[in-house]
């Protein structure tokens, strides 16, 4: 496995700039895995990322539906997954994750640990940790199990 890692601390006042930087740095990456405790800010960061990509749809957590589909004015599709409520990783196949993950569109994935064995070999992992006082620590890793 090859991994590259970097970290930074941000707050809500700087989240727009963080999202802009992530878009610029990671726009070629298709699989984005968001890790963090409940309430850490995964969906909040995804909402800001969606805005940076020009998503015109309302962005919300797909906790009950497992996946939300968004698009931007250019017709680019984005898929937002939340696997928090699945009981068995095989449930992910019922929604066709392999088609999503290998379809060439950007996939933002929350609670990927529930389906870890089914993730592609290459992805970007963004870990968010609550630092108190409305601050979050974001650790960005490029994961590549293929090399």
Task: Look at residue 96 and tell me if it is in a domain.
Answer: yes
User: Would the pTM of this model clear 0.85, i.e. be above it?
Assistant: yes
Q: What's the pLDDT at 78? A: 97
3-class secondary-structure state, position 127: strand
Q: What's the pLDDT at 6? A: 86
Task: Look at residue 145 and tell me if it is in a domain.
Answer: no
Task: Look at residue 71 and tell me if it is in a domain.
Answer: yes
Q: What's the pLDDT at 3? A: 57
The domain of 75 spans 7-139
Task: Look at residue 2 and tell me if it is in a domain.
Answer: no
Q: For the segment 77-116, what is each residue's pLDDT rounded down to a tens digit?
A: 999 999 999 989 888 888 899 999 999 999 999 999 999 8
3-class secondary-structure state, position 4: strand
Task: Look at residue 144 and tell me if it is in a domain.
Answer: no
Indicate which CATH number applies to the domain containing 126. 3.40.50.300
Q: For the segment 22-56, what is each residue's pLDDT rounded down to a tens digit?
A: 999 998 999 999 999 999 999 999 999 999 999 98
- Spell 33-44 as b/e; 16+ CB within 10 A means b: bbbbeeebbbbb
For 62, list phi and psi in degrees, rounded to 5: -90, 35
- Spell 46-85 as b/e; 16+ CB within 10 A means b: bbbbbbbbebeeebebbeeebbbebebeeeeebbbbbbee
Task: Look at residue 123 and tell me if it is in a domain.
Answer: yes
């Amino acid at each position: 496995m090859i991994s590259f890692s970097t970290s930074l601390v941000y707050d809500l006042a700087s989240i727009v700039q963080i999202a802009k930087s992530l878009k610029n740095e990671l726009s070629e990456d298709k699989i984005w895995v968001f890790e963090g405790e409940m309430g850490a800010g995964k969906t909040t960061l995804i909402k800001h990322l969606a805005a940076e990509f020009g998503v015109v749809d309302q962005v919300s957590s797909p906790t009950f539906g497992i996946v939300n589909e968004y698009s931007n004015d250019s017709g680019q599709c984005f898929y937002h997954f939340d696997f928090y409520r699945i009981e068995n990783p095989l449930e992910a196949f019922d929604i066709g994750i392999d088609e999503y993950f290998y379809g060439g569109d950007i996939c933002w994935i929350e609670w990927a640990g529930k389906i870890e064995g089914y993730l592609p070999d290459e992805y970007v992992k963004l870990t968010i940790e609550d630092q108190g006082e409305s601050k979050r620590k974001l650790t960005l890793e490029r994961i590549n199990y293929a090399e």
